[in-house]
Structure 1
Amino acid sequence: MDNVTPLGGDVYEIDTRMAGYAGITAGYLILGDRPCLVETGTSTSAPIVRDALTSLGVGAEDLATVVVTHIHLDHAGGVGDIAGHYPAAEIVVHEKGARHLADPSRLMASARMVWGDRLDDLFGTLAPTEAGRIRALGDTGAIDLGGGRRLTSHYSPGHAKHHVGLLDSATGDLYVGDAAGVYLPETGDLRPATPPPDFDLGTALDSVALFGDLGPQRLLFSHYGPVTDVPATLERSAEELRVWVDLTRQARTEGMDLDHAVAMVRDRTRERYAALSASEATADRFELLSGAPSNVAGIMHWLDRTDPAAGR
Structure 2
Amino acid sequence: MGGYDGITAGYLIRGERPALVETGAARSAGEVVRALAGLGVGPADLATIVVTHIHLDHAGGVGDLAAAFPNAEVVVHPAGARHLVDPSRLLASAARVFGPVLDELFGPLLPTDAGRVRALGDGDAVDLGGGRRLESFDSPGHARHHVGLLDSLTGDLYTGDAAGVWTPETEDLRPATPPPEFDLGTAIASLEKMRERRPTRLLFSHFGPVSDVGTTLDRSVEELRLWVELVREARADGLDVDHAVSRVRERTLERYAVRALPEVEAKLELLSSTEADVHGIWRYLDQQAALEND
Question: TM-score, length-normalised on structure 1?
Answer: 0.92
- The answer to whether structure 1 residue 29 and structure 2 residue 29 are counterparts is no
The Cα of 1:309 is off from its aligned counterpart by 8.1
- Cross-structure match for 2:280: 298
Percent identical among aligned pairs is 64
- Cross-structure match for 1:4: none
- Residue 60 of structure 1 aligns to a residue in which SS? coil
**What amino acid is aligned across from residue 51 of structure 1 in structure 2?**
R
- Residue 124 of structure 1 aligns to a residue in which SS? coil
CA displacement, residues 198-238 of structure 1 (integer Å, 9 cap, x when unaligned): 00000000001110110000000000000000000000000
- Cross-structure match for 1:8: none
- The answer to whether structure 1 residue 210 and structure 2 residue 193 are counterparts is yes
CA displacement, residues 133-156 of structure 1 (integer Å, 9 cap, x when unaligned): 110012221000111111000100
- Aligned mate of 2:73, from 90, 114, 126: 90
The Cα of 1:195 is off from its aligned counterpart by 0.3
- Cross-structure match for 1:227: 210
- Cross-structure match for 2:95: 112
Distance in 1, matches of 2:231 and 2:114, equals 40
Distance in 1, matches of 2:133 and 2:266, equals 37
The 1:309–1:66 alpha-carbon spacing in structure 2 relative to 1, beyond 3 Å, is closer
The 1:133–1:261 alpha-carbon spacing in structure 2 relative to 1, beyond 3 Å, is same
Q: Which has the higher strand share?
A: 1
Report the number of matched residues.
293
- Aligned mate of 2:270, from 288, 292, 302: 288
Gaps of 5+ in 1: 1-17
CA displacement, residues 137-186 of structure 1 (integer Å, 9 cap, x when unaligned): 12221000111111000100000000001000111000000000000011
Distance in 1, matches of 2:238 and 2:84, equals 39
- Cross-structure match for 2:140: 157
- The answer to whether structure 1 residue 51 and structure 2 residue 34 are counterparts is yes
- Aligned mate of 2:231, from 234, 244, 248: 248
- Aligned mate of 1:42, from 3, 15, 25: 25
The Cα of 1:28 is off from its aligned counterpart by 0.3
- Residue 117 of structure 1 aligns to a residue in which SS? helix
Distance in 2, matches of 1:236 and 1:288, equals 22
The Cα of 1:252 is off from its aligned counterpart by 1.4
**What amino acid is aligned across from residue 188 of structure 2 in structure 1?**
L
The Cα of 1:20 is off from its aligned counterpart by 2.4
- Cross-structure match for 2:46: 63
CA displacement, residues 243-302 of structure 1 (integer Å, 9 cap, x when unaligned): 000001111122211111100111111211000122x10111122222111110000111
Moved over 2 A (4+): 308-311
Do 1:253 and 1:310's aligned partners in 2 also have CA atoms closer than 8 Å?
A: no
Gaps of 5+ in 2: none
Question: TM-score, length-normalised on structure 2?
Answer: 0.98
Distance in 1, matches of 2:229 and 2:265, equals 23
Distance in 2, matches of 1:241 and 1:125, equals 31
